[in-house]
Structure 1
Amino acid sequence: MLFKAVLFDLDGTLLDTAPDFILSMNLLLSKYDKPLITESEIRSSVTNGSEGLIKKAFKIDSTHENFAAIKKEYLEIYYENIAVKTTIFDGLELVLDACETHKIPWGIVTNKPIKYTEHLLKKLKLHQRASVIICPEHTKNPKPDPEPLTLAAQKVEVKPCDCVYIGDHLRDIQSGNAAGMTTIAAEWGYLEADTDIEDWRANIIISKPENVFDFIFHKELSLKMLFHKMPFNYVPAKNLLDEKIVLITGSTGGIGTALSMKCAELGATVIICGRSIAKLEKLYQSIYELGLKEPLIYPADFLGTKKDDFQILTKKIEKEFGKLDGLVLNASLLGNLSSLDDYSENMLDEVMQVNFKSQFLMTQCLIPVLKKSESASVIYSSSSVGRKAKAFWGAYAISKFTTEALVQIWASEHENISKIRFNAVNPGATRTKMRAQAYPAENPRNLPTPEKVILPYIYLLSADSHCISGQSLNSQDKP
């Protein structure tokens, strides 16, 4: 299972409370000889609480002279009828039962006042089942501030990155994201008519509560659903990588250059690494002239680098920055496209040195500074021929198979001992010099530019992917 704690918003997420809100409102409207309301007319207003319901039903705003009195009377009626028709959404009782069976804490983080929350949960016999209940009275700042969710994680003794939070309002997702949790936008909830739920930046959107169980309790499906949403339409937030230190090998190539520029634009301090000092200096100047954080140049030719070189680099990073947040192993050598029968030993050594051995040793040496990051990410550039081999791709394909293996082994070994995440990205067919070398007859104008394929790298470098490790992503629908 991907998560160690499950947290819910209350109204419109865990519980369908709208029927009792509407029942109470109609009782009040009857008293004032006002027209009654239907569920279709007012259900979406439930997300705005009692004030939103009163505004909708009585067609007055909070400045009306009778607004406070009507609100007081409405809340009294609601308190008395709080659990007449309210139920757990279909499918979520199964989630609660599974959490309890597997000893996974579940809880509620709501902006509903404690008086009504506790009364409702006691009526439904949920009060003693929940491991934690956080209401506005428990914190200085309510949602969308992360404080309520951070407190909930503390109470259940689970790191925020191991929690999932489910909510049906923008403030829920903002709070969960800020707390560093995986967030689920509950499309079954009380969404207002003009809401574009995609704009909330939830990790995943689930349309039916019945689907929550599979997402939470089936790890492979969880990852598949997260990946389906992420790579192609990911929109990085401004300053997404602020205060992060990111080292990118192959920085002077197409994808490496595009990624270095984008990381710098998003606030990272980038350590640019490549063979050509002239090209590194040119990239340095491009970043510097934009007024971005000054990059650090690390010249390296992986054909000749040894473990000692990477150990020196590690000490330099530790002295300069104290940590490393991201490592992108992007440098690659294509080698000869020929049959294995005719493949030269010298070329085999060179390709495996650049694509495998140097990347392995660099990662190994940098582990100590990666461990000093709160959320370190190691990303290897992979290839489709590293998943399904093709004739005549020789050592390049072999090296990319080792890349996929490295990711899985590193991730498995570090799963419970560090916060470092290990993943691979297959950028697919891209307008680069290596692609032109492999496919000289291909029209490069038919291919996406490097800038178009780097979003999965950005995603994996960010806190948005804090629960993702040991996976291999594609940058394009057709890898």
Structure 2
Amino acid sequence: MTTIAWAHPPEAVLFDLDGTLADTAGDLGGALNHLRLQRCLPALPLDVLRPHASAGARGLLAAGLDIHPGHPEYEELRQAFLSAYEHCLADTTELFAGMAEVLSALEARGLDWGVVTNKPHRFTLPVMRGLGLEARAGVIISGDSTAHAKPHPLPLLTACERLGVSPQRTLYVGDDLRDIQAAQAAEMPSAAAAWGYLGTAEDVGRWGADVICAHPQDLLALL
């Protein structure tokens, strides 16, 4: 891990949700396996599905059922997946190890923090509520909160506007290439969360993040 040369002291940290702030793969994978069982297919182990969790319904339907956008059954199965997920949003979801301490440290330092995710709002809030973080987060931006989702910069810029902070003095942390692309488009420093899902066969070093962090607590050294 390298460091970030802040021109001015940082004011805030924004986190992606799935695979960065929280380990949601168990519940997302459970929803996918529900669809497989309906098709008389055996459940897949979580370690097979985990790398695809950050891509949501699209990634999990591809990994678990080989169904992709454009397939005649895709939209029906996407809706079925979302319906199944809605019933298990916080069954196994939990913060990644060390993340609770990071959030407490940010608050102790007087730094704002929030969440910017592509997850739909109707799922984001129950997950944040289940984690006990809804009231603590300074801002929560979901995939349908703005006109564009990541990798467009608008969700990050909207979060900064609501917090009253500068993008150049805000760190965005994510475990997907789209997260880093969004941060770059917003001219915001970025950290790749190497503890996250990361997709498959990804070379995180090629994403262009300012830093790559192996553990959530590495973030504190950047601030």
Match of 1:75 among 66, 72, 82: 82
Identity %: 37
1:107 counterpart SS class: strand
Equivalence for 2:105: 98
2-side partners of 1:6 and 1:95: how far apart? 11
**Which structure 2 residues correspond to residues 173-212 of structure 1 after superposition, within 5 A?**
173-212=180-219
> Do structure 1's residue 171 and structure 2's residue 178 form an aligned pair?
yes
2-side partners of 1:53 and 1:31: how far apart? 16
Task: Give the C-alpha shift of residue 62 in structure 1.
Answer: 2.9
2-side partners of 1:172 and 1:198: how far apart? 14
Equivalence for 1:113: 120
2-side partners of 1:175 and 1:59: how far apart? 28
2-side partners of 1:171 and 1:178: how far apart? 10
Distance 1:64 1:180, change over 3 A: closer
> Do structure 1's residue 61 and structure 2's residue 68 form an aligned pair?
yes
2:127 counterpart SS class: helix
Count of matched residue pairs: 216
> Do structure 1's residue 152 and structure 2's residue 132 form an aligned pair?
no
Equivalence for 1:317: none
1-side partners of 2:200 and 2:57: how far apart? 18
Equivalence for 1:12: 19
Contact 2:125/2:134, CA 8 A, preserved across alignment? yes
Deviations 1:398-430 (A, max 9, x none): xxxxxxxxxxxxxxxxxxxxxxxxxxxxxxxxx
2-side partners of 1:158 and 1:62: how far apart? 37
2:35 counterpart SS class: helix
Equivalence for 1:425: none
Task: Give the C-alpha shift of residue 122 in structure 1.
Answer: 1.5
Distance 1:147 1:60, change over 3 A: closer
Task: Name the one with the larger helix percent.
Answer: 1
| Aligned amino acid, residue 88 of structure 2 | N
2-side partners of 1:183 and 1:62: how far apart? 29
Contact 2:20/2:195, CA 8 A, preserved across alignment? yes
Q: List alignment gaps of at least 5 residues for structure 2.
A: 1-7
Task: Give the C-alpha shift of residue 14 in structure 1.
Answer: 0.5
Q: List alignment gaps of at least 5 residues for structure 1.
A: 217-479
**Which structure 2 residues correspond to residues 75-474 of structure 1 after superposition, within 5 A?**
75-216=82-223
Contact 1:94/1:213, CA 8 A, preserved across alignment? no
2-side partners of 1:185 and 1:160: how far apart? 17
2-side partners of 1:61 and 1:181: how far apart? 32
Deviations 1:314-356 (A, max 9, x none): xxxxxxxxxxxxxxxxxxxxxxxxxxxxxxxxxxxxxxxxxxx
| Aligned amino acid, residue 95 of structure 2 | I
Equivalence for 1:31: 38
1:138 counterpart SS class: coil
Deviations 1:239-273 (A, max 9, x none): xxxxxxxxxxxxxxxxxxxxxxxxxxxxxxxxxxx
Query: Looking at both structures, which has the greater relative contact order when contacts are Cα pairs under 8 Å and sequence separation is at least 6?
Result: 2
